[in-house]
Structure 1
């Protein structure tokens, strides 16, 4: 196996000596004269081991070590220090260095230390690869279903996977948009390249541009070194922009330019950088309505909507609930140390009657809870959370009495339906009102109004 080593020292002769001593047996040696230069090399090269001097002008060894541990936590670092400063070596080990070598060093001892560090790196890479393969395998396996509406999704994935076209996934929260995005990447011609996911709603607006495009040192307070953004991290691979509808208008223009020109400009830099990225975006909003409301750029919408794939809500693919539930029970049961073989007929019937406002994510959480409380290898009706039955009961009792199939009190009937949905969303979100509002597609203000109108006290809800 070939390896790349980066040697960092402000003495060119020492760099040349180490390059000569280490540059054999499939090892390529890169050199840098200071910490800032080293970070640039790390951005452009796949480095397996960093060997750094302790004292250097500008960014010294301790500062470089701290920055590397933040950006590349699994990259082993060997620190070079003088015999008289063993204290520095101890400090470096405490701060995450793999090992240290003392100057002047013995070449044989250096070879042994480097060999151990590279073996450690190989083990980490193998573990990363196996975990990634397992995660992707589970993600692909979760694309389960044979309903007509979901078959159209699978056909669309198969049609677009080898293409470089931008894909727009739309659907309610929890319908599996990221899993579909990963399936497109995994089965396409970029499968061996990075898949980088960004939740546009989870990053503060002030940091989103830096997160997307990177920044130069000193571009703003806290920018202590250059940093690459998500577009560069995903170069040659796939960038998944989740909740694209929440992106601020000011940033939408720069995203549009990145898609059109295939170039990005880090914050605080005037130099453009080319990127080759396949973009998959996802939203649970009506982007055309957002365009009409001037909340989303029309030109960006059409740039993203090259290949749209709408994802059906789980209530629109009821026949897929049982196979999805069995899949989750098998995988989650194994993780919990239980062998769950399936569901009783009554349990499956209860699950298919429920409307699942949180979609596949809610179903997975429901099954996970059921596998924990189940006392047998079959999940029974009483193992399921109570809110499934509260919602169903409200559909068939109380104020919903009917005269010849028509509700006797329409306002009361609608209030009961509304209450059932809100209670189900609160159960799913563990009482977090903002999350519950998102599950049923209304604003937080509207959600709070409905809680007050319906007399629902969140602290009294049984979880």
Structure 2
């Protein structure tokens, strides 16, 4: 689909010539002979760029630019001007125009300027789309969990997100520490500024200082150009220090200074720079134990832990597992050509009994594997990874050997009876409560020899 350019000029002949040139370049051309006519087209048509003359009767190009900026802030505008009014064109650029082209117009210069303007506009539009997508992904209603332990996390996020306060997020690997950090950022006044994440455990120790503060050309062997550090990249936004417990002591001193003084110097540089950056740190280690062992600075710990948030392990919030199953099935299913997939009660029981040492990340991988393995819209225990099915009893402290099939069948039978009792014997309603279809329930009633009546009871 070709991009549409609106040409605005009071000279009708020039409009016709430029329309032909733009169409020859592969664009769709619309034309307007005045500023008000151009604004009317902008409000009613899908337009990608405005090419306008600067000197026009009535509403001139600068006035039209100001109105476009008000109504369509991201619309790229290119000014056409005679040599004598170049100074006015430069002012128009200061006022928000992308560029100007001097008359008489050269086709090659016109093509290059328009292509550059449209390319930049597309990049800005993609960035805004990505920002909105990320912001939507980390809204409070997308943080999954109704368990009391996770609701405490939600309350903590809501309390601190509006502040600049430094936050320390702790929890086992896979509990969603970066998700919480992003939720804080995207629900804060800094949400339009960058969120920069740094894994302190993944950067070579020799490069950590340069990574954070940047360096100037020639400051050390291999510094062949200036480098912008993560603090500069995150200016006005949030810097997320993941695995902060793996930060070397030498760097801890420098990070402490930034937190205290809000200033830093690039490696090899002489000028001090101010850091307007919010810090959110995360770790799966016990920093107080590291302080006692001399591996982490106590003063830095207290600077980071101004507002601590502890994420519970998945085994501490078992009631949230069905919510995660639905979330991951909806997220992963379409890419695997698996839509409207449900987990059977026996699968939910097995998954709820497992201890999940890898936490939410492991559960997500398990759901993806089950979606691939299952052959029906209902995922049963038989579709789960073998290592999950073989270990659920351990979570309850059971002893081996076990008759897993018998235990699973007995559990499923009792669930069906409970659902029928709650539905007062109405099978359609009972099937809905169990998350299965009526035909599947009918097969299970026959399998477990359950008689349905107003008083639901198994046959003797």
TM range (shorter): 0.5 to 0.7
Q: Take 2:287 and 2:97, find their aligned partners in 1: how far apart are those partners?
A: 42
Q: Take 1:387 and 1:176, find their aligned partners in 2: how far apart are those partners?
A: 23
Q: Take 2:316 and 2:353, find their aligned partners in 1: how far apart are those partners?
A: 12
Structure 1's unaligned 5+ residue stretches are: 6-16, 30-45, 50-104, 402-463
1:21: Cα distance to partner? Answer: 9.2
Equivalent positions of 1:208-219 (< 5 A) are 208-219=208-219
| Aligned position for 1:131 | 130
Q: Take 1:127 and 1:142, find their aligned partners in 2: how far apart are those partners?
A: 23
The answer to whether the 8 Å contact 1:328/1:367 transfers is yes
| Aligned position for 2:271 | 271
| Aligned position for 2:411 | none
Q: Indicate the SS of the match to 1:356.
A: coil
The answer to whether the 8 Å contact 2:161/2:185 transfers is yes
Q: Take 1:336 and 1:26, find their aligned partners in 2: how far apart are those partners?
A: 51
Tell whether 2:175 aligns with 1:175.
Answer: yes
Task: State TM-score, norm by structure 1.
Answer: 0.64
In the alignment of these two chains, the number of paired residues is 318
Equivalent positions of 1:38-187 (< 5 A) are 107-140=106-139, 142-187=142-187
Q: Indicate the SS of the match to 2:215.
A: coil
CA distance 1:216–1:174, shift in 2 (3 Å): same
Q: Indicate the SS of the match to 1:27.
A: helix
Q: Indicate the SS of the match to 2:129.
A: helix
1:48: Cα distance to partner? Answer: 8.5
Q: Indicate the SS of the match to 1:198.
A: strand
1:399-441 per-residue CA deviation (whole Å, 9 max, x = no partner) reads 799xxxxxxxxxxxxxxxxxxxxxxxxxxxxxxxxxxxxxxxx
| Aligned position for 1:227 | 227
The answer to whether the 8 Å contact 1:21/1:107 transfers is no
Name which of structure 1's ranges 143-152 and 369-378 shifts more when overlaid on structure 2. 369-378
1:219: Cα distance to partner? Answer: 1.2
| Aligned position for 2:374 | 374
1:111: Cα distance to partner? Answer: 2.7
Q: Indicate the SS of the match to 2:390.
A: helix
The answer to whether the 8 Å contact 1:3/1:27 transfers is no
| Aligned position for 1:302 | 302
Q: Take 1:217 and 1:396, find their aligned partners in 2: how far apart are those partners?
A: 63
Q: Take 1:23 and 1:224, find their aligned partners in 2: how far apart are those partners?
A: 38
The answer to whether the 8 Å contact 2:333/2:341 transfers is no
1:271: Cα distance to partner? Answer: 1.0
CA distance 1:392–1:176, shift in 2 (3 Å): same
1:317-365 per-residue CA deviation (whole Å, 9 max, x = no partner) reads 1101110111011111123232033211111111000000011111111
1:28: Cα distance to partner? Answer: 4.7
Q: Indicate the SS of the match to 2:163.
A: coil
Equivalent positions of 1:13-52 (< 5 A) are 23=89, 27-28=93-94
Q: Take 2:198 and 2:306, find their aligned partners in 1: how far apart are those partners?
A: 20
1:389: Cα distance to partner? Answer: 1.7
The answer to whether the 8 Å contact 1:265/1:272 transfers is yes
Tell whether 2:197 aligns with 1:197.
Answer: yes
1:251-303 per-residue CA deviation (whole Å, 9 max, x = no partner) reads 00000001111111111112111110010000101001100000000110000
Q: Indicate the SS of the match to 2:239.
A: strand
The answer to whether the 8 Å contact 1:4/1:28 transfers is no
| Aligned position for 2:261 | 261
| Aligned position for 1:436 | none
1:143: Cα distance to partner? Answer: 1.5
Q: Take 1:113 and 1:176, find their aligned partners in 2: how far apart are those partners?
A: 46
Structure 2's unaligned 5+ residue stretches are: 1-73, 404-460
The answer to whether the 8 Å contact 2:138/2:186 transfers is no
1:35-57 per-residue CA deviation (whole Å, 9 max, x = no partner) reads xxxxxxxxxxx9989xxxxxxxx
1:125: Cα distance to partner? Answer: 2.3
1:222-275 per-residue CA deviation (whole Å, 9 max, x = no partner) reads 211111100111111011100000000000000000111111111111211111
The answer to whether the 8 Å contact 2:355/2:392 transfers is no
1:112: Cα distance to partner? Answer: 2.1
| Aligned position for 1:251 | 251
1:381: Cα distance to partner? Answer: 1.6
The answer to whether the 8 Å contact 1:3/1:26 transfers is no
| Aligned position for 2:283 | 283
Q: Take 2:168 and 2:399, find their aligned partners in 1: how far apart are those partners?
A: 42
Q: Take 1:312 and 1:396, find their aligned partners in 2: how far apart are those partners?
A: 24
The answer to whether the 8 Å contact 1:340/1:378 transfers is no
Q: Take 1:278 and 1:128, find their aligned partners in 2: how far apart are those partners?
A: 21
1:137: Cα distance to partner? Answer: 2.5
Name which of structure 1's ranges 169-178 and 363-372 shifts more when overlaid on structure 2. 363-372
